[in-house]
Amino acid sequence: MEREKALELVKAQLTERRYIHTLGVAESAVRLAKKYHADQKKAELAAIFHDYAKFRPKEEMKQIILDQKMDERLLSFHHELWHAPVGAYLVEKEAGVTDWEVLDAIKYHTSGRAGMALLEKIVYLADYIEPGRNFPGVEEARRLAAKDLDEAVLYAAGHTITFLIGRNQPVFPDTIALYNDLVMKKEGE
């Protein structure tokens, strides 16, 4: 799918603020893909579509999770997680994107998971460090992203976990699995 067509489809689904965020994620994803030798077109497409379902009604997303037999653990966690797997499903059904690498990058951009593929890590991190983000630690994540993709993803996952724990919120098991996977890889080096 061409960039302009993808942007047109996404813009209709998002607020102006979220659309600007999406442009920043796409820019960051292309930059990371270039640096880490990933497919830049796939990275850009996944980044453009990463928040496709962000503003869908909660009940619609819940029903899709149930109907499509997605990981029902999602329903026990904050609905912010739902838009990623639901988005991957809707991008395939409504936008006709069938590339499983692109769809998985969309699916796991919020939770992450153990054994993430290169494209998944790029979109996960691009969403975390895009130019519009401004929170304590984002500059360190950007610095790490310029040096070592796994270190940057590990840092982002660790900060996400710490943030949720600090708010007494549960942490989705896939995010913990991502963190553990990267720590154990690092220790094994």
Q: What pLDDT does residue 148 have?
A: 98
Q: For 141-161, write each residue's pLDDT tens digit.
A: 999 999 999 999 999 999 999
Section 120-146 average pLDDT: 97
The domain made up of 3-188 has a fold known as Hypothetical protein af1432 (1.10.3210)
Cα–Cα distance measured from residue 6 to residue 14, given in angstroms and rounded to the nearest whole number: 13
Q: What is the mean pLDDT of the chain?
A: 97
Q: For 86-118, write each residue's pLDDT tens digit.
A: 999 999 999 999 999 999 999 999 999 999 999
Q: Where are the domains of the chain?
A: 3-188
Q: Do residues 35 and 121 touch, judged by C-beta distance below 8 A?
A: no
Q: For 33-91, write each residue's pLDDT tens digit.
A: 999 999 999 999 999 999 999 999 999 999 999 999 999 999 999 999 999 999 999 99
Contacts 24+ apart (CB under 8 A), 115-119: 115/181, 116/153, 116/178, 116/181, 118/36, 118/38, 118/149, 119/33, 119/38, 119/39, 119/42, 119/43, 119/46
Q: In this model, does residue 1 exceed pLDDT 90?
A: no
